[in-house]
Amino acid sequence: MSIVECAAFPESYELYRHPSGLTILVNENRELAKAYAVYAANFGSVINHFRVGENEVRLPDGIAHFLEHKLFENEEGDAFAKFGKVGGNANAFTDFDITAYLFSCTSGFRENLEILLDFVKRPYFTDQSVQKEQGIIGQEIKMYEDHPGWRVSFNLLRALYRKNSVRIDIAGDVDSIAQITPELLYETYHAFYRPSNMVLCVSGNASLADVLAVADRILEPEKPGEPVVRLTEQEPAEITQSFITQQLPVAKPIFAIGYKDTDPAHGAELARRECGMEILSNLLFGKASRLYNELYEEGLINSEFGAGYACSDTFAYLEIEGESDRPEQVFERVKAEVARVRAEGLDRAAFERSKKLVYGRLIASANLPENIGNMMARSFFLGQRYYDRFEAAKEITCEEVAALLPKLTESAAALSTITPQK
């Protein structure tokens, strides 16, 4: 067991390598009434091709999300019902590079954790249950096909990326999930749901001793096995297209503008990059920015306008979203403002304000055990400490953030719009 400490403020968490191969992170806070646990696999929707030994496997789009749904069900019924009996509030989610199973509770932490670790380690798939789930997820996919906010963002990713699977909807499509079989689910599960490819993060009113009391009973010692090698195609630096549009039943056009970052980072460097890009995006496009106020006063945008940076160690992009009757004009103004700031340099006072805002948001996020647990898991899979972002936000300089401006080039930019159906 080791202690991971934060240099930005007096905070720490415990890190423990379990004999099963699982990494356990615990941020204990007995002043809170709630405990939160997230059990996550380093496996998300962007992984669709891998090799184990001599066996090479191509996965249908959406299988990570499908597997997340199916793990809650086994021969004994639905795991949600078990959580309900011991006062646990359970859920799960699949993202581009992570699948997570979680619960929160105000009592019965050990009982809830036992349910969590037990159902995740006992997959159960049949032809009948898979076919049933294909129908359920197929309806979910159709719902998202008509969701304007979802479509504008994924259309943008299709414009930015040519090869990277981040361009594909997390749930896949109806045709891709129709290819999923129990045998393929088992093969995928055994490749990626090894404890050594997972992390258990606990925050709030629970201790490492509480966790180990359950983990030592439920998890078996690690067994040697063939390593899993992820296979990916090289993503070109160029974007696929600079403009993409779709018609849906919306009252007002919505848009998403993206800048493709062609140089993804890893570990602490990625945490610093993410922090710097958040500061930069707020400085350029936040509600206190020159551009936001000009566009707002001219009636080109409304208060829905905002920006953020999404990243992993295989992709990264800056996204600006909003509503406008003239999204193409907003796109041109965004590009012009980036070019102006790149030529004139950053305003140091504006940088300091943006830096304080980003740091303040990080501190606020650390008030909730759910945020802490989820970010500990995400950070771990990216080769980071949970505190890397806090330290970066406190230390980063104006010069470092200014050095990120050349990434925002016109050739790396694309516009996605959703316009009202005629």
Q: Report, in angstroms and rounded to the nearest whole number, the Rg of the chain calculated over CA atoms.
A: 22
DSSP 137: H
The set of residues, in sequence order, having a beta carbon less than 8 Å from that of 291 and lying 6+ positions away, is 284, 285, 333, 334, 337
* 110 vs 114: CA distance, rounded Å: 6
DSSP 407: G
DSSP 244: E
What phi and psi values does residue 311 have, to the nearest 5 degrees? -155, 155
Token pair listed for 96: 């581009």
Token pair listed for 302: 């409304």
28 is catalytic: no
Count of Cβ atoms closer than 10 Å to residue 25 Cβ: 25
Token pair listed for 53: 């030994």
Which one of the listed residues 11, 31, 56, 68 is annotated catalytic?
Answer: 68
Tell me how far the alpha carbon of residue 205 is from its chain's centroid. 25
Count of Cβ atoms closer than 10 Å to residue 371 Cβ: 15
Catalytic residues, by residue number, are 68
